[in-house]
């Protein structure tokens, strides 16, 4: 009896212990699944955002986009970093370097460069070469370590701290160049002619100073000089203030300098165009459904005098929208060299708590219907001169050419006004 009772008691204890063990295992498994679910959800969210917004949905059929999602979610994805890597692999077949995952550090830096006045890094704006897929320098920021080391638009970034940029890709190359002020990064650069050199760059805080202005005077005319280095959120207001200041100084003409302006917020570039054009088309965007949306300027302008706009191969994206609008509407003569050729528009989306994703959502055309992507804008007057080390300085031959051209326009206008006055006087007599 006691023996049977003991056996039954032992069996019950074993059942309870087994139940507890199973419950504990299941509880741990549930916790692990939930952790995996967070990381996998990050991948799924990225796929969904791209699926709903990417400007070329025909690409999805070509690369079997839904199958890519399935295969990606079968990978081991237990951490945020594994999720970011999986998203990078998932986006690669789209063959669009501008649609990319932004890790927390890169996401925060991009937001600060769009909305703030300074960034930490070496001062390089990067893109991907259409022909070679190499990481290419679009432009360098004024006063940055990159500019001081002699890196110029058109150079290629071959390696960063010994790692090939081909292996890193555009986004990770840009990420490795950023960092805390005072730290150094070794960069291998090759020029368009094939010359290779290594540059040891020290990262530091770079003052963007997106809008700079001054007055140029000679014996007979007063001309305003306005340089925009990038299109951040604050730029339209700063441009308005600068134009009002130049008006007070009674400038007769304006040199708009967009050299090495690699873009920024498209909305800011359009707002500046609105300040210089009266009831004229600015740009036409084309979305994934082929729907074209034309954007035109308001009636009032902040400056309506004669203009010359300076552009070079570092002029890209939002600055090309502005330059194209001014050229097509015959509002300003363009001088310099052919622009970079980035005619795609990205939308920035939050992903999780700290990261983000940039998605190419539309392409744009100039008012005359010109597609800028990979083509660029050819100036009305090409300048075969050495570009200046400091834009707007007394040694800046490009700015001096623009100044001389504006002076000739103003003198022609004076002669025309005098002739009209004489004709009016003769008519009266």
> 21-30, 268-277, 296-305, 371-380: which range is least confident on average?
21-30
- Position 403 scores a pLDDT of 94
Burial class (CB in 10 A: 0-12, 13-18, 19+), 394: exposed
pLDDT digits (tens, 9 = 90+) for 361-411: 999 999 999 999 989 999 999 999 887 777 888 889 999 999 999 999 988
247-251 contacts, C-beta under 8 A, 24 or more apart: 247/302, 247/303, 249/215, 249/222, 249/224, 250/222, 251/215, 251/222, 251/223, 251/224, 251/305
Tell whether the torsion through CA atoms of 114, 117, 119 and 123 is positive or negative: positive
Distance in angstroms (rounded) separating the CA atoms of residues 224 and 399: 11
User: Does residue 418 or residue 76 have the better pLDDT?
Assistant: 76
Distance in angstroms (rounded) separating the CA atoms of residues 383 and 256: 16
Mean pLDDT score of the chain, rounded to an integer? 85
DSSP string across 109-148? HHHHHHHSSEEEE--EEEEE-TTT--EEEEEE-TTSHHHH
Mean pLDDT of 326-341: 96
Tell whether the torsion through CA atoms of 236, 238, 241 and 245 is positive or negative: negative
Distance in angstroms (rounded) separating the CA atoms of residues 156 and 127: 10
Distance in angstroms (rounded) separating the CA atoms of residues 185 and 120: 13
Whether 21 shows a pLDDT value over 60: the answer reads no
| Structure tokens belonging to residue 347 | 């939308």
Looking at the DSSP bridge assignments, the partners of residue 124 are: 140
Distance in angstroms (rounded) separating the CA atoms of residues 109 and 150: 24
- Position 320 scores a pLDDT of 97
Whether 253 shows a pLDDT value over 90: the answer reads yes
DSSP structure class, residue 334: E
User: Does residue 420 or residue 305 have the better pLDDT?
Assistant: 305
Q: Which residues contact 93 (CB under 8 A, 6 or more apart)?
A: 63, 68
| CA-wise closest residue to 409 among 214, 223, 159, 153 | 223
Whether 273 shows a pLDDT value over 80: the answer reads yes
pTM of the model: 0.78
- Position 105 scores a pLDDT of 83
| Structure tokens belonging to residue 216 | 């140029």
Whether 16 shows a pLDDT value over 60: the answer reads no
Mean pLDDT of 130-155: 85
Mean pLDDT of 192-212: 87
| CA-wise closest residue to 340 among 368, 374, 306 | 374
Whether 158 shows a pLDDT value over 80: the answer reads yes
Mean pLDDT of 110-138: 75
Catalytic residue set? 317, 328, 342
- Position 26 scores a pLDDT of 40
Whether 100 shows a pLDDT value over 70: the answer reads yes
pLDDT digits (tens, 9 = 90+) for 65-74: 999 999 999 9
Distance in angstroms (rounded) separating the CA atoms of residues 264 and 133: 22
β-pairing, 163-164 vs 156-160, is antiparallel
Whether 15 shows a pLDDT value over 80: the answer reads no
- Position 364 scores a pLDDT of 93
Mean pLDDT of 282-301: 92
| Structure tokens belonging to residue 274 | 């609105």
Mean pLDDT of 135-150: 86
Domains in the chain: ranges and CATH: 2-94 (3.30.750), 118-207 (2.30.42.10), 211-412 (3.90.226.10)
Place of tokens 């023996």: 3
**Are 351 and 336 spatial neighbours (Cβ–Cβ below 8 Å)?**
no
Tell whether the torsion through CA atoms of 189, 192, 196 and 199 is positive or negative: negative
User: Does residue 427 or residue 158 have the better pLDDT?
Assistant: 158
Task: Phi first, then psi: give them for residue 406, nearest 5 degrees.
Answer: -65, -40
């Amino acid at each position: 009896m006691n023996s049977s009772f003991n056996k039954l008691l032992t069996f019950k204890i074993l059942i309870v212990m087994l139940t507890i063990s199973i419950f504990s295992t299941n509880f741990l498994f549930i916790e692990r699944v939930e952790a995996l679910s967070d990381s996998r959800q990050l991948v799924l969210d990225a796929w969904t955002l791209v699926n709903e917004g990417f400007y070329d949905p025909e690409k999805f059929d070509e690369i079997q986009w839904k199958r890519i999602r399935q295969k990606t979610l079968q990978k081991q994805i237990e951490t945020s970093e594994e999720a970011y890597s999986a998203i990078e692999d998932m986006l690669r077949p789209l063959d669009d370097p501008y649609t990319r995952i932004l890790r927390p550090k890169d996401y925060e830096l991009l937001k600060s460069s769009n909305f703030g006045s300074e960034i930490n890094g070496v001062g390089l704006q990067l893109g991907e070469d259409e022909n070679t897929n190499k990481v290419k320098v679009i432009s360098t920021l004024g006063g940055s370590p990159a500019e001081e080391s002699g890196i110029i638009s058109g150079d290629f970034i071959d390696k960063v701290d010994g790692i090939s940029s081909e292996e890193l890709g555009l986004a990770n190359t840009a990420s490795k160049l950023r960092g805390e002020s005072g730290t150094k990064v070794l960069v291998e650069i090759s020029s368009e002619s094939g010359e290779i050199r290594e540059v040891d760059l020290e990262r530091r805080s770079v003052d963007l100073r997106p809008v700079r202005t001054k007055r140029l005077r000679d014996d007979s005319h007063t001309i305003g000089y306005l340089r925009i280095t990038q299109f951040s959120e604050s730029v339209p207001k700063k441009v308005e203030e600068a134009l009002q200041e130049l008006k007070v100084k009674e400038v007769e003409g304006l040199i708009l300098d967009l050299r090495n302006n690699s873009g920024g917020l498209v909305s800011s570039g359009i707002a500046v165009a609105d300040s210089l054009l009266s009831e004229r088309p600015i740009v036409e965007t084309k979305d994934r459904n082929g729907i074209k949306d034309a954007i035109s300027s308001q009636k009032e302008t902040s400056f309506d005098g004669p203009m010359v706009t300076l552009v070079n191969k570092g002029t890209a994206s939002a600055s090309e929208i502005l330059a194209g609008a001014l050229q097509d509407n015959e509002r300003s003569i363009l001088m310099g060299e052919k622009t970079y050729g980035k005619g795609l528009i990205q939308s920035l989306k939050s992903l999780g708590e700290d990261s983000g994703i940039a998605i190419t959502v539309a392409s744009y055309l100039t008012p005359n219907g010109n597609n800028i992507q990979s083509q660029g804008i050819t100036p009305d007057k090409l300048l075969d001169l050495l570009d200046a080390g400091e834009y707007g300085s007394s040694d800046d031959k490009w700015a001096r050419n623009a100044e001389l051209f504006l002076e000739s326009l103003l003198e022609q206008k004076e002669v025309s006004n005098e002739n009209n006055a004489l004709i009016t006087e003769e008519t009266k007599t």
